[in-house]
Amino acid sequence: MLGPWKISPSSRQSVGYDDNIAYAAGDAATASPIAGLRGRLDIANEDGPDSLTLTAEIEQTWYTDASQFDHFDWSAEAAYGAQVSDYVRIRGTLGAASAETADATTDGIVIGGSFDPYVDLARYTRVPAALTLVFDTGRFQAMLAGEIVWSDYDDRLTAGGVLVDQSFRNGANSDIRLRAGWRATPGTSLFVEGGANIQRYDDASADSDGWRAVAGAEFAFSRLLTGEVFAGYAAQSFSGGGEVTGLTYGAVLTWFPTELISLTLTARRDFGAERTAQDAGGTITAPVTRDSVRLAAEYEPLRQMLVRAEIGWGQDVYDGQDRRDERFFTGLGFDYVFTPRVRATLDWRYEERTSAVAGDATRNLVRLGLTTGY
């Protein structure tokens, strides 16, 4: 503590094994033991109705059998909240990050009509900024939120040895939402929400615009079941032609069957696009409907131990194409607290992708870590 400021440095050392570092298909998979070192600094001032938090993190990852995947990542964020009046509060965030990760998408390049997938990690820099205005009288609530994310990707390497420019992924995505709600009971509120997004890239053929209108409810039943559900209609149109429309939905439900167990179900449908470069120049932009569902559980068998588990599924359906990509993942983790400042973690995650175009791929990642904080 330094006056009203709480300063919390921490570090994490980890070792593990990744059997498909770039989440590539077939023979393109590369496996290696891994080691990681991460440092984090959290600074918070929450004295009074206003708050300011600053976060910075750096991480170095080494692959002992595949040094070409070694990378250094960093991120920083500032978040501010202010109570403007009895009913009005403003929240804002500004961040920046540079990271190298396995692509969760099936991006690649089309050469002579055949798909050539990427086999390296996606290196990107992002700058997100968001501002939210909340009006709450206790019975009536309204929220106006805006967010913009600027992204820049490094060139990618394919299995065929082609270096692909990523201008069709570089640009800014903007989103604005307006929500109005009414608290029907102390634990339940009903709302309607409208939103629009504008996606602009260095390659204008990848640009798109969308909107959505939904209605839903937030609830908390005796603190045993809490969450939010909504459903409505959404549309996304693309500058190169094509449009995808239809039902959109979302849900986040948390159930506490006992004081030591929590279950969280998350489901969502979104509309977007898959952009694929061609060796002849330009890109193919295909409208995509994305569905996902995830179930996560936490169990505290001992005061010093937390057990975490998750399972999930998702699919991407390509409009106008006979193509459906599916994803499945599951994972298990353990946290053991030796002291308030020292914690050990063990995590395992399995991912599986099925795609007639990009190929099938699986990935196992195991990590053992030790986190220390002050």
Give the chain's residues under pLDDT 50.
none
What single letter denotes the amino acid at residue 166?
Answer: Q
Q: How far apart are CA 154 and CA 165, in angstroms?
A: 8
What single letter denotes the amino acid at residue 168?
Answer: F
- The token duo for 247 is 């039902």
Burial (CB < 10 A; 0-12, 13-18, 19+), residue 283, is buried
Rounded to 5 degrees, φ, ψ at 335 are -120, 130
All structural domains of the chain with their residue ranges: 5-373
Q: What is the pLDDT of residue 19?
A: 95
pTM of the model: 0.88
Q: What is the pLDDT of residue 282?
A: 63
Q: How far apart are CA 247 and CA 261, in angstroms?
A: 33
Q: What is the pLDDT of residue 152?
A: 95
Residues making up the chain, counted from first to last: 374
Q: What is the pLDDT of residue 110?
A: 74
- Which of 175, 241, 239, 242 minimizes the C-alpha distance to 211? 175
Topology given in CATH for the domain delimited by 5-373:
Porin (2.40.160)
